[in-house]
Structure 1
């Protein structure tokens, strides 16, 4: 960007772009530092838009030829803001809905301004912009009523158009005249306009994705009332002060499996290995657990681990004390000695008549 642009705007856009590139190259989008970086970038782009408006860089009475080459990149400010806003992490469904609608307003501002300068001209983008204005949150690049073949063809066409725009932009940027100090102004201007065309394409794809996400979030269960969460936290603190176990749903199990499918038998083997499947829930926070339970058929926990083991102990399904020692036969008790002898002979005869593996006839034709 040359020296024609105001110094404060150039410094601000450089800082915002640097922050955006760092966010896009980050591989840890769940950390607190990532959320802070996104918030900082949103603040920078918001400030940039305010200063662009205050400086009156763009006017509805102008054409694209009236815009200085150094000012063309400022047209992308609302588009960049929308992109960064969508990256905000750690939100509940209702907060995410509000954030997506904020991003949508930024995309609208970008497309309206670009269209005012005649940069959304020609198919398919002129028709897409018309449909976007008419359909609002129902907008999709390929209408939902289209048949599968039409949807597939639409996705392929969009992918090819994106590849052509990206390739054109890369070819222009690799031109030696563009890399020269100061650059060829005509070529630099063409690069900026190609970049704007690429962002127009990306904006429509982002609006398509954004609208589909809004539709999914609208079907998500409502969050628990804040008052309920505060009460639960207070009760847990009181239980901890009294040395009792908090009523934490993350430390609970589903109902005993045999009570649901008729399965009976011991819970553990003699060696202490589990004989029946059960699910242990991890120690995630309640808010993370709530956000994750948006799928049908989820079995909510119904009893704690201690309650589960107590129920199994009451039913006699837990063997305590390990393997019981075999009773020692009194040598003077001839009847008991005879019973043990006959029992050993019967077992030997059974093993002779039934070799190991003789009862397994599966997969043998």
Structure 2
């Protein structure tokens, strides 16, 4: 669960309306509910609906102004800066049918990620970090060249190993700080301290502000990774969507004609033309024969499979069932077979008179065998003696 939901810091006004006496959900409680939906239940669709409602409410309440900095924003309102980041995660997690729908979702998610990082950079406060700012501006440059609808046209960019490691360590550091601050807030709650009372280096508001700041730093670093992954995915999605669009524009007859044409081309023009040279046995003249090697040209040098994995699995299953049946029959046959007394004791059958009587002969035979074959008697130059103990 998100640290915000765990701290339960709901100081934001409510703009929702309802019947008299019915509880009203504040933007803060809706945001916490949305975080639970997509983080714990993977319910991205409902989470997106709640996030849109929260966005509408905070826009109506005008919680933020364009000329304020990070330090000017009130502590309870800081969590709403994560709205575009959460929407980006939900859009990336939503299932879609076909490449075109997925392409639309990824583009919208990319816009949300860019909006989140742009806001973090404009507010200052060192939340996004200098290294992330540099990478973010490189990504923006690669995303340039918009279409008529204003959407970005990314070109896939990789990330060096050092950059990936640095971002991973930054996220780990933020996670550790979040755990520490959350623990302090939980201890304050157990001790029922007043919000203004200083404890472990700060009052409740300062701890909540530090907690939110760490969450924003971690989200900004994670957002960089997501944008890089989106660039690479978008390039493949655009090619796939274009191919599907071209295929859908053709009639079934055209598709069938193309398939038949490809098949005929593979059968007719796929062979390699070669010249076979031989010698006429009567005149010793060289004979040249042109032919095509259609089969066996690209035949692998190893033995090909003779059955499918499903057939192999069925054979293995039958063998396993036969072995189990044989083991069961052998167990039934040996159940009443006489055995040594020590084995009866081991199996808890020493009270069975018939089995004990039958075991007496087995024990005598075993003692006679040991007397006739002392330990080591079968080894050359062995120390032969009475070792049956």
Task: State the TM bucket, normalised to the shorter chain.
Answer: 0.5 to 0.7
C-alpha displacement at 1:103, in angstroms?
A: 0.5
2:222 counterpart residue number: 202
1:48 counterpart residue number: 54
1:167 counterpart residue number: 176
Tell whether the 8 Å contact from 2:185 to 2:207 is kept in structure 1 after alignment: no
2:32 corresponds to which of 17, 20, 23? 17
Tell whether the 8 Å contact from 1:169 to 1:195 is kept in structure 2 after alignment: yes
Matches within 5 A, 1:317-336: none
TM-score normalised per structure 2: 0.51
2:237 counterpart residue number: 217
CA distance in 1, matches of 2:140, 2:11: 35
1:70 counterpart residue number: 76
Partner SS state of residue 108, structure 2: helix
C-alpha displacement at 1:261, in angstroms?
A: 6.3
C-alpha displacement at 1:124, in angstroms?
A: 0.8
1:128 counterpart residue number: 135
Question: Structure 1 residues 81 and 176 mapped into 2: Cα distance closer, same or farther (>3 Å)?
Answer: closer
Tell whether the 8 Å contact from 1:86 to 1:99 is kept in structure 2 after alignment: yes
C-alpha displacement at 1:14, in angstroms?
A: 2.5
C-alpha displacement at 1:93, in angstroms?
A: 0.7
TM-score normalised per structure 1: 0.54
Question: Structure 1 residues 226 and 141 mapped into 2: Cα distance closer, same or farther (>3 Å)?
Answer: closer
1:61 counterpart residue number: 67
Matches within 5 A, 1:1-365: 2=9, 4-8=11-15, 11-26=26-41, 37-119=43-125, 120=127, 122-136=129-143, 137-138=154-155, 140=157, 142=159, 151-176=160-185, 179-180=188-189, 182=195, 184-220=204-240, 222-223=243-244, 224-225=247-248, 277=307
CA distance in 2, matches of 1:14, 1:98: 29
C-alpha displacement at 1:13, in angstroms?
A: 4.0
Tell whether the 8 Å contact from 1:177 to 1:184 is kept in structure 2 after alignment: no
Partner SS state of residue 56, structure 2: helix
Q: Kindly provide the CA deviation profile for residues 29-61 of structure 1, in whole angstroms up to 9, marking residues without a partner as x.
A: xxxxx7xx4222112112211222222111121
1:243 counterpart residue number: none
Q: Kindly provide the CA deviation profile for residues 107-131 of structure 1, in whole angstroms up to 9, marking residues without a partner as x.
A: 1111122222104454212212222
CA distance in 1, matches of 2:170, 2:155: 23
CA distance in 2, matches of 1:226, 1:138: 27
Partner SS state of residue 175, structure 1: helix
CA distance in 1, matches of 2:39, 2:11: 29
Tell whether the 8 Å contact from 1:69 to 1:189 is kept in structure 2 after alignment: yes
Question: Structure 1 residues 79 and 206 mapped into 2: Cα distance closer, same or farther (>3 Å)?
Answer: same
C-alpha displacement at 1:227, in angstroms?
A: 8.3
Larger radius of gyration: 2
CA distance in 2, matches of 1:173, 1:141: 35
CA distance in 1, matches of 2:251, 2:188: 61
CA distance in 2, matches of 1:70, 1:155: 32
Gaps in structure 2 of 5+ consecutive residues: 1-7, 17-24, 144-153, 196-202, 256-266, 268-293, 297-304, 311-389
CA distance in 1, matches of 2:129, 2:239: 36
Partner SS state of residue 174, structure 1: helix
Q: Quote the RMSD (CA, aligned, Å).
A: 3.5
C-alpha displacement at 1:279, in angstroms?
A: 9.6
CA distance in 2, matches of 1:210, 1:173: 32
